Amino acid sequence: MEARSIGEQIRENLKPIFEKFQLNHHQFFLRRRSRLPLSFTNHHVPEPTATLDQLTPLTTPISSIKNFIRIWLKNILPIELFGSKYNHKLFIYKMCFLIELPRIQEYSLGDAVRKLKFKHFQWSNIQMLNSLSLICQLYNCHLIHFLIQYVLILVRSYFYVTEASSPSHQLELIFYRHKIWYAIQQKSRKELFYKSCCPNVEQENVNNDDCIRYLWKIRFVPKITNVRYLACAQIEFNTRENINHLKYTNEALKYLRRHNRHLMGISTFNRVEMHRRWQDYCRIAPKIDDESMTYFLRSDLSNFYDSVNLDYLDKVIEFLDNCEFNYDLYIHTIYKSQYRNGRFIRRKTIYWVGKENEQMFEIMTDATKRVSNGTFHDMIIHDVHVEIYNKEKLLKYIRAQLFNSYLYTMHPKKLPIKTFRRIIGINHGLRIASMLGQIYLNKIDHDIDFSPISDEFAVRHEDDLLIISPHRYRLRRIKLNITKRLIELHHINNSLTNSLKTKTNIRHRTMKKFRPVEYWGSLVDIKSREILVTLNQNENIEKKINQLTIKITRETGYHLRHSLINAL
């Protein structure tokens, strides 16, 4: 009974402190970007499967996370909770240290409470007990454990710590914007409020779960170990010219896609092209009635880029020698420094693609350029040069990115560079990997003599294949031939269900309605001849997320996880 009365008295002392804690949540949030120095929000938003060069400028430095934690805790945690400014400042320092810890090092509760002066905790001082007694120390340790969990949930709500299997981004936090995080933030906000704040405040104040404000959204970095590497040219060809021309990837990709459509087959790179092909199919396809049957084959190859056969791909690259280029690719590069009233603003690099044009070249090299705000900025040109890509240089460009023997990773702490020798698979971090994957799969279609006939619709994006046909047994033969060829190329080492994910049969005779086929975020409706796109994707996402449980777990080493890691 005595221990129960002591606990009730301590809770009564803590109640006004936690009410102030909750009030700080409701009143404070980071409004200005300058207070949280994440200057990466204006960058290009990556696609759901982001490449390495898209993720690199979106990484958030550890110093920014520490600054975020420091500002947040300084304004949220009441000093009365620790009894003195010394304990308050020391706890914030320990939490910043916790963020900086590597995953291989554990952080115990004893490390968190070390050097804290328990006698300063005024809420634990009661008449019948000394502030240094065992009961008071247990309550203090329980409070520190609660605050550590609060900080971990807070960091998880704003950022995601990369997996240990991502050597190119070890110990870094990845910032990413995506619609799915709207629903995740709602759930994590409720978890943070109801599990951390509600047990310590009055019941009439617990119906407002908007006390935590969210300004930043994130996304997971894939866990696969060999898809997020930075590529380096071969050692024997590691010249300045070979490395510099890798930066013209966008222009070279557009050029190769435009002049090598015969190597792409049924592959597509955007939904507009897919919709155009669907319209062409609907013009010549026979009409659908209630008695006819329509079937489909939808397949997805697991870990495709990591299991690409390099020997087979080498022959595909040799097949590129049959390309016919109509003109050479001209890439003009202009390096400028921008000044305003004699003060340096930024350096700017301008790329201009096209044939040689002296008039356009003079406009691009003008010393002054008008900007959107109506003012004039002084430009100082440092260097101007033109790169000309012919057939030989384009093939050399492809081989320089694809057949690099050694891959290196960048470490934020500037530790010695680790090298990895690639034996199999394409470096998925390269932008050209998508196009090479399409050429690779089209060569497999060529080997099995597959090409869509007049009453069939076939499209492929990356390794996702969709074939709609009235010929059921033809689709079965295509599936068996693809599986056999993939086994020969050592793509499928496990069971068929684990490596080649397929789905067939669009309609059975017992069905009264045609069901649309889900493919690439769209619904392909056979009967109405339409491609439907969901306008509100968050509605379906929330239904899936509500069935999951988001929880914090501390495993060996310092990193954060929850059950959504496999759902994305």
DSSP string spanning 495-518? Answer: -HHHHEEEEE-S--TT-SSPPPEE
Q: Report the pLDDT value the prediction gives residue 472, as an integer from 0 to 100.
A: 82
| Residue where the block lists tokens 């390309």 | 323
CB 72, CB 186: distance < 8 Å = no
Task: Give the pLDDT confidence score for residue 407 in this predicted structure.
Answer: 39
Cα torsion angle, 70, 75, 78, 83, sign: positive
Q: CA 445 to CA 443: how far, in whole Å?
A: 5
The predicted structure's pLDDT at residue 487: 83
pLDDT the model gives residue 567: 28
- C-alpha span between 48 and 526 (Å, rounded): 27
Between CA 171 and CA 93 the distance in angstroms is 19
Count of C-beta atoms within a 10 Å radius of residue 100: 12
Give me the pLDDT at residue 125, please: 66
Contact in structure between 248 and 351 (CB atoms under 8 Å): yes
Looking at the whole model, is its pTM more than 0.75? Answer: no
In SS3 terms, 232-249 reads as CCCHHHCCHHHHHHHHHH
* Residue boundaries of the structural domains of the chain: 2-223+551-565, 278-323+426-533
436 half-sphere exposure, CB direction, 13 A CA radius: 30
Can you give the pLDDT at residue 451?
85
The amino acid that residue 241 corresponds to is E
Q: Which regions of the chain are under pLDDT 50?
A: 1, 31-59, 103-104, 161-185, 188, 192, 196-246, 367-377, 405-421, 494-499, 508-511, 534-568
Rounded to whole angstroms, the Cα distance separating 488 from 447 reads 12
Residue 230: per-residue pLDDT: 30
Report pLDDT for 201.
44
pLDDT value for 453: 86
Sheet arrangement for strand 329-340: 343-353, 329-340, 376-389, 368-370
CATH class for the region spanning 278-323+426-533: alpha beta
Q: What is the CATH T-level fold of the domain 2-223+551-565, as seen in this structure?
A: Topoisomerase I; Chain A, domain 4 (1.10.132)
Residue 147: predicted pLDDT: 80
CB neighbour list of residue 50: distance below 8 Å, 6 or more residues apart: 176, 219
Contact (CB, 8 A) for 124 and 42: no
The neighbour count for residue 435, using CB atoms within 10 Å, is 20
Q: What is the structure's pLDDT at 361?
A: 53
Strand partners, 502: 299
